[in-house]
Structure 1
Amino acid sequence: MENQMLGHMVLASGGTGGHVFPARALAAELLDRGYKVTLMTDSRGEVYEKLFPGVSILQVNSASPSVGGLLGKFKAAFKLGIGVLQSLIALRKIKPAAVIGFGGYPSMPPAFAASLLGVPVILHEQNAILGRVNRLLAGRATAIATSFVNTEATERNLVRKMYHTGNPVRKEIRELFGSAYPNIQVAEKFRLLITGGSQGATVLSDVVPEAIAALPTDLQKKLEITQQCRPEDLDRVSRVYENTEVETNLSAFFENMPELLSGCHLAIMRSGASTMAELAVAGRPAILVPYKYAMDNHQERNAQTAVERGAAVLISQDEFTVEKLSEILIDLLSHPEKLKSMAMAVTSCAEINAAGNLADLVEEKAKNGKKASHVDGKVIA
């Protein structure tokens, strides 16, 4: 079926991987269904061309009023206003069936412009609490797709708009679902994966190597560590590991995350929305260290479901010390049955068909406008 026969969908996203990755997964799903897809984003559009094959990319003005003080707020408001005008012109030409916003300020101009034109607006919220931009747009939205079953919203009318779809993950991660947890008893090495999100996390570089160095030598010899570090942290992290018995693979960025996730026995990570979704789909246990400055403490909220189900261990950043981490690692390494149990529990948190669920919701709202049709938060085709 030709794309023109089904229509044109516009995705509004940009900024961090937490916003971009689910947009990328939805774009692939909509393309497979025969839709034409355009991504409207900010000046970083060229960066996304490889991530969104087959998708047209339009850049519009955007800025965050959270930086630069009072002058920064005025500048941001001006740029956002220009972005809305640019979006109005573009959307009148495109005539999309729906606009899907993924949060972050790059999504605001297209989503706001769509609401002015009467185009159905579907927001996707990755975290367990509505983000700032999605809160601002929620009143104008036709529907709000949520990654977590219990997503916090203070206004009852917003809760009525919510549909639990899950958080879409890229195809390469989705293909890991159902893969067997690596057998610790027969493995030559215990593989530990440490990442701090797209930008890395200095606190992991500060604490993890020293905690590994504090482990008994016999445990160190069993470890194979893959760790992402900020570029400026690589040398000092390497020096700490040189005085241990562990095998290491250090880098500022890893291209083969699906492979690394599949092979690891335990991950130490932040608890951003995309990280939580990928861990659940891959079925890998984790020690989670939420970013303490995340807005509304949403990373800790993201981790709660996994922790409550026994799928992860949570350590707040203030309590993430060498002594605390060493104690937990010794316990888990000495009791591999706990890790296997955690791996089984984390899979129960996965929403494997999140991209399909979100695409179903988009199609429904594109066809029916603001009419709602859902049962218990599940979309009905």
Structure 2
Amino acid sequence: VVALIVGGSQGSEALNNLLLAALDAVVAHRVNRPDHLHILWSTGPRHHQRVNGALADLGSPDWVHSHPYFDNMPDALAAADLTVSRAGAMFTAELLNQGLPAILVPFPNAAADHQTHNARALAEAGAALLTPQAGLTGEILWAELNQLSGDPKSLERMGMAATSLARPRAADQIAASVERLLAS
């Protein structure tokens, strides 16, 4: 199982710190790591050096693959079985179009708390877990990731729910609406 960790185009210091705390607990054997779980991690360009240093301090686990940024997000999404991410509009739309289950940690300072609204909509539809950042620890995040990655039926059900919410023709529909508006 490949878990894609994405904190937005600039990365997320909070998500990075949570994952590093989780990995520290795994390496120290305070929590278990399923053999099947691999991490594909977009740290964000300005966080990458610090994250890689921390990973080196943890023994550079060969099942963790960190990158500053993914230039080809469709390939990263195609490689993933689930995601841990923020809940911005564009990324959640990409998740739905790919049919990917998600653990969504909304950015708490987003305008009008829109990321929480996005995450709640996906969670209520069964496509995601909504995990508020307040009170979240690395071990709690790891427990959610561990449980979900080890449950193929839940991954399949959540993926189907995500696909049912997708609107792959949205751009065409918007363009047609604009054309109708301009023609009237």
Tell me if both proteins adopt one fold, taking TM over 0.5 as the criterion.
yes
Task: With a CA cutoff of 8 Å and minimum separation of 6, indicate the structure with the bigger relative contact order.
Answer: 2
Larger radius of gyration: 1
1:199 paired residue number: 10
| Distance across 2 between alignment mates of 1:319 and 1:312 | 19
For the 8 Å contact 1:210–1:240, the answer to whether it is kept is: no
Task: Decide whether the 8 Å contact of 1:193 with 1:260 is kept in 2.
Answer: yes
* Residue equivalent to 2:67: 251
- Aligned partner of 1:345 in structure 2 is 161
Q: Which residue of 2 aligns with 1:233?
A: 47
- State how far apart, in whole Å, the 2-side matches of 1:334 and 1:193 are: 15
Aligned partner of 1:354 in structure 2 is 170
* Cα displacement string for residues 195-238 of structure 1 (whole angstroms, at most 9, x for unaligned residues): 11122111111101221342468625433222112334223322
Q: Per-residue displacement from partner, 1:270-325 (whole Å, max 9, x unpaired)?
A: 11100111000000011111111111101111122210011101111213211210
Q: TM-score under structure 2 normalisation?
A: 0.88
Deviations 1:152-183, CA, capped at 9 Å, x for gaps: xxxxxxxxxxxxxxxxxxxxxxxxxxxxxxxx
Q: Report the AA paired with residue 181 of structure 2.
A: K
SS, match of residue 323 in structure 1: helix
TM-score when normalising by structure 1: 0.44
The 5-angstrom pairing of residues 271-282 of structure 1 reads 271-282=87-98
Measured against aligned partners, the alpha-carbon deviations of 1:105-124 in whole angstroms (never above 9, x if no partner) come to xxxxxxxxxxxxxxxxxxxx
Shift in alpha-carbon separation, 1:230–1:222, aligned structure 2, 3 A: same
The one-letter code sitting in structure 1 at the alignment partner of 2:6 is: T
Aligned to 1:117: none
Runs of 4+ aligned residues of structure 1 deviating over 4 Å after TM superposition are none
Cα distance 1:287–1:246, how it changes in 2: closer, same or farther (>3 A)? farther
Q: Distance in 1 between matches of 2:9 and 2:159?
A: 24
Gaps of 5+ in 1: 1-189, 369-381
Q: Which amino acid aligns with 2:68?
A: A
Mapped to 1, the partners of 2:44 and 2:72 lie a distance apart of 17
Cα contact 2:103–2:129 (8 A) shared by 1: yes
**Equivalent residue number for residue 298 of structure 1:** 114
CA distance in 2, matches of 1:262, 1:363: 33
The answer to whether the 8 Å contact 1:222/1:246 transfers is no
* Structure 1 equivalent of residue 181 of structure 2: 365
**1:208 alignment counterpart:** 19
SS in 2 for 1:287: strand
**In 2: Cα distance, 1:246 partner to 1:343 partner:** 27
Q: CA RMSD in A?
A: 1.9
The letter of the residue matching 1:208 is L
**Between Structure 1 and Structure 2, how many residues are aligned?**
179
Deviations 1:48-101 (A, max 9, x none): xxxxxxxxxxxxxxxxxxxxxxxxxxxxxxxxxxxxxxxxxxxxxxxxxxxxxx
AA at the equivalent of 1:197 = G
Q: Kindly state the Cα deviation for residue 246 of structure 1 after the two structures are TM-superposed.
A: 4.3
Partner Cα distance (1:355, 1:210) in 2 = 40
